[in-house]
Amino acid sequence: PLASYTKIAWVIRTNTATASNNILSGGTGTNDHVLWMSNNNGTTLSAGNNNNWNYVMDPSPTPINTWSLVAVTYDATSLSMFLYRDGTLVNQALGTVPVQPNGNATYIGAWSAGNTFQGQIDEAQLSAVPRSSNWLWACWQNQGYNSSFNTYTPTFGIRNLSITNLTSVSAT
């Protein structure tokens, strides 16, 4: 990514293996960047760059067999990193080392050829801007299982209508 970035993805962990479960990662040497579930217990959402992979860590384990929206934003201007789960800020770090653009590949679900994610990843995104907390919250509300952001009502106020024996001429 460029110096500032946002990484976001829907993830579901399917086991508690103590492995490095990379969600979005890449770079080489001093320009590495990662959003992952760290190998200290396999379910700790973490992010970092430049050989410090845990600038920010979620204090609570990510649930197993449950979809979660995970995200990290990095602002190169303020040297700030923010970690989110399900639209909520869970950790932040100030004074982090900036990532330099290097043209190296970014991987979804792996670190280079290893450290594959144990589960499923959906709708992974990488942006060259640090998205706001409101933007990330709206993504979670818009796509998550909730009733406060999106509601559905029948058109024209028709509710609980039951039709039987429908033909081209009549309905009873």
- Strand 5-13 and strand 119-127: pairing? antiparallel
CA distance 59 to 147: 27
CA dihedral 99, 77, 96, 23 (to 10 degrees): -50
CA distance 29 to 50: 7
pLDDT at 121: 92
pLDDT at 158: 54
pLDDT at 171: 45
pLDDT at 59: 92
CA distance 30 to 91: 23
pLDDT tens across 130-157, in order?
999 999 998 888 876 655 555 555 555 5
In this prediction, residue 1 has a pLDDT band, given cuts at 50, 70 and 90, of very low
pLDDT tens across 82-100, in order?
999 999 999 999 887 777 6
pLDDT tens across 39-94, in order?
665 678 999 887 777 889 999 988 888 899 999 999 988 889 999 999 999 999 98
Mean pLDDT of the chain: 79
Start-to-end CA span in the chain (Å): 62
pLDDT tens across 2-32, in order?
578 899 999 998 876 667 788 988 876 667 7
Choose between 11 and 101: higher pLDDT: 11
pLDDT at 38: 76
pLDDT at 132: 93
